[in-house]
Amino acid sequence: MIKLKKLNFNFSSFSTEFDVETSKNEIFGVIGKSGSGKSTLFNLISGFLKPHSGKIFFDNTDITNLEPNERNLSILFQDHNNFDHLTIFQNIILGIDPDMKKTDDHVKQVKKVLKKISLNFDIDTKVSNLSGGEQQRVSIARCLLRNKKLLLLDEPFNSLDPGLRKNLYRDILTMTKKEKICTLISSHLIEELKNITNNFFFIHKGKIIENRVMTYQELSVNKYFKDYLQ
């Protein structure tokens, strides 16, 4: 469960303040206009930005002052999730070993997670030789290996074709349920998000509307959301 208590970050031109609490670990969609503060929210939760005030709690633990690597989370971006010149093995194993040592145990673990996401490649294949969707799968595999309880996905599949996106969303859903993790996905593709979740944070001008998780039905009567859809 994630709890943001008056989490504030000020830019020169505007400020953000997030105040929301979730009750259980499931998928939450994070939506809002470009520049509304979605990336800022993710940066605050992951620890890449230090808030000017407020607190972040995850599973009742105050993580506000923890470094990103001390937080129990993984993150997936739209691009540059993998080091192109490194192999599948290296990109996955760096999640638990910075030196990327190729021990028998490590190889076993990597093969196991690859099987989970149905990626059938030689682990010594360079990531640059994979397609976009396959590369994102490698990133998901790393997240799986890290076995963290909070997963942040910042517009991860936008550049992929619809069929691929559907499969990857399904993989995320399976992973969330199986591993019992809390997943936040930001995306503009609301229709696709609706297929995997009915819990949304709608961010407008740096704030979460009504400071709570809302269903799609609740959002659809909100005037800012209607504005956003247009």
| Choices 26-34, 69-77, 106-114, 205-213 (CB under 8 A): range interacting with other proteins | 69-77
Binders of other proteins among residues 28 to 57 (CB under 8 A) are: 46, 48-50
x-marked contacts with other proteins along 128-157 as a string, rule CB under 8 A: ------------------x-----------
Is residue 98 involved in binding other proteins (CB under 8 A)? Answer: yes
Is residue 81 involved in binding other proteins (CB under 8 A)? Answer: yes
x-marked contacts with other proteins along 186-215 as a string, rule CB under 8 A: ------------------------------
Is residue 85 involved in binding other proteins (CB under 8 A)? Answer: yes
User: Is 1 or 49 the residue whose CB approaches other proteins more closely?
Assistant: 49
Sign of the CA dihedral 23, 221, 230, 207? negative
Asked whether the beta carbons of 200 and 30 are under 8 A apart, the reply is yes
Is residue 80 involved in binding other proteins (CB under 8 A)? Answer: yes
Residue ranges in contact with other proteins by CB under 8 A: 11-12, 46, 48-50, 67-69, 73-75, 77, 79-81, 83, 85-86, 94-95, 98-100, 146
